[in-house]
Amino acid sequence: MSECVFCDIVAKQAPASVVYEDHHTLGFMDFYPATTGHVIVIPKAHASNLAALPLGAEESIASAGRKIGDAMYTSLQCEGLNWVVADGVVAGQEIFHAHLHLVPRYTNDGFGFRYPPGYPQEIPRDQLDDTASSILNAL
């Protein structure tokens, strides 16, 4: 057993209900599903968060998510699907092996997101431009 439960699942040293596997990614049922059919998609190689992933690894995760998501619509008859990545403690990440949540949605399922107090608040264009420039400059 390693110190990472997701690495243990990849190594088949911990049980999981696997729904998808390819050379780079693994998809399995969340142990504590937010809704019925909640799936976790992980890179097989350990990376604590998105920034630690080798560049391009996100493409394998997204591709697997698309395939699994399509199958979830068919098999679960879900009405929608949330892709959720909690990256970092303040974003709610609890297991520090990068992962994508695929949360199937059903009418009145009780799952949702909470916006901060005061939302929505219109931000002046010059502030949006400043923030955009900051991100662009970091790319």
Contact yes or no for 25/43 (Cβ under 8 A): yes
Residues 6+ positions from 79 with CB-CB distance below 8 Å: 105, 106, 107
Q: Please report how close the Cβ of residue 73 comes to Zn ion at its closest, in angstroms.
A: 29
Rounded to whole angstroms, the maximal C-alpha distance in the chain is 53
For residue 7, the minimal CB distance to Zn ion (Å) is: 3
Segment interacting with Zn ion, rule: CB under 5 A, options 19-27, 38-46, 52-60, 102-110: 38-46
Which of 38, 44, 97, 99 lies at the binding interface for Zn ion (CB under 5 A)?
97
Among 24, 46, 101, 105, binds Zn ion (CB under 5 A): 46
Backbone angles phi and psi of 133, in degrees to 5? -65, -40
Using CB under 5 A as the binding rule, whether residue 47 contacts Zn ion is answered as no
44 is an interface residue for Zn ion by CB under 5 A = no
Q: Is 6 helix (H, G, I), strand (E, B) or coil?
A: helix
6 contacts Zn ion (rule: CB under 5 A)? yes
